[in-house]
Amino acid sequence: TLLGQNVNSYKHEHEGFSELLEAVANVKGVKRIRYTSPHPQDINTELLAVMAEHDTICNYVHLPLQAGNNRILKRMNRTYTKEHFIGLADHIRDTLPDAGISTDIIVGFPGESNEEFEETLEVMERVKFDSAFTFKYSSRPGTKAAEFSDHISEEEKKERLQRVIELQKKHTLERNLESIGKIEIVLVEKESKKSSAYWAGRTDSNKWVIFDKGNSKIKDFVPVLITAAKGISLHGDLLYQEEAHAV
């Protein structure tokens, strides 16, 4: 994992993040690469082309929205607009059709009206994220936002957060249902919390899959036939290589 705050803003001499990612993808023996957290402003055609070219790069982009209203985004010191963000999400889906897209959403930023909050829900409906990290705004001493006088009540923030969570649950299930019947290559990561007879692992689009252990072990890459979508996870059957080719 290439990890950094605004990781895709990386620069070294004349090379940027796209060149770094491609260099890592060309290292022999590396089977799966992911990066986090990128800034929407620095996701470009070149980066997506590198991702599309290399199977070892995870088919997954974390695209922080934060809020769906341009005035609030500006107040947050975000350097993109709602329109730019939606266009970027469309570009990702066009270039990487099966990509998983996750996001960050903050509700109740100081001064956010009900109408402005509704725009966040509209963007969610438009993009249909695979998953989201959702938060209600909390004041931090020393920040500019803490000095604003138009703070939102805790009750209102909780209500807005719940609406975001419920909508994202719906979208996550919708996106996961599209995987049923497909064979996914899953990296075995840990034992399932619900049963010691099952593994939990992730696809290259960052979806969690629960499946029977068979003779597989942690760190293996295994083919799994997806048979169900439950909540935020997929469920499936472990296939042996000959079965995977036959399906």
Question: Each residue of 126-147: pLDDT tens digit?
Answer: 999 999 999 999 988 888 888 8
Q: 179 or 13: which carries more pLDDT confidence? A: 179
State percent of the chain over pLDDT 70.
96
On whether both 170 and 201 belong to a single domain, the answer is: no
On whether both 154 and 207 belong to a single domain, the answer is: no
pLDDT reported for residue 118 = 98
On whether both 43 and 24 belong to a single domain, the answer is: yes
On whether both 197 and 104 belong to a single domain, the answer is: no
- Work out the mean pLDDT of the chain and round it to a whole number: 92
pTM value?
0.89
Mean pLDDT value of segment 241-246? 51
Mean pLDDT value of segment 215-225? 97
| pLDDT tier for residue 2 given thresholds of 50, 70 and 90 | confident
On whether both 56 and 140 belong to a single domain, the answer is: yes
On whether both 155 and 44 belong to a single domain, the answer is: yes
For residue 57, list its beta bridge partners: 33
- Residues 62 and 27: their CA atoms lie apart, in Å, by 23
Mean pLDDT value of segment 78-83? 95
**Residue 14's domain spans which residues?**
2-178
**246 assigned to some structural domain:** no
What CATH number is given to the structural domain containing 224? 2.40.50.140
Question: Each residue of 33-50: pLDDT tens digit?
Answer: 988 877 887 888 999 999
On whether both 92 and 187 belong to a single domain, the answer is: no
Q: Which of 129, 145, 178 is the last residue of a domain?
A: 178
pLDDT reported for residue 246 = 46
On whether both 167 and 191 belong to a single domain, the answer is: no
Query: Is the pLDDT score of 241 beyond 60?
Result: no
On whether both 141 and 226 belong to a single domain, the answer is: no
Burial (CB < 10 A; 0-12, 13-18, 19+), residue 207, is buried
Q: 11 or 224: which carries more pLDDT confidence? A: 224
Query: Is the pLDDT score of 213 beyond 80?
Result: yes
Per the structure, the count of domains in the chain is 2
Task: Say if CB 174 and CB 168 are below 8 A apart.
Answer: no
pLDDT reported for residue 134 = 98
Q: Comparing C-alpha atoms, which of 122, 132, 34 is closest to residue 86?
A: 122
On whether both 67 and 87 belong to a single domain, the answer is: yes
Please tell me whether residue 30 adopts helix, strand or coil conformation.
coil
Q: How far is CA 213 from each of CA 92, 103, 113, 117, 147, rounded to the nearest angstrom?
A: 33, 31, 49, 44, 53
Question: Each residue of 176-188: pLDDT tens digit?
Answer: 999 999 999 999 9
On whether both 132 and 219 belong to a single domain, the answer is: no
Please tell me whether residue 110 adopts helix, strand or coil conformation.
coil
On whether both 196 and 111 belong to a single domain, the answer is: no
**219 assigned to some structural domain:** yes
| pLDDT tier for residue 6 given thresholds of 50, 70 and 90 | low
Task: Say if CB 100 and CB 62 are below 8 A apart.
Answer: no
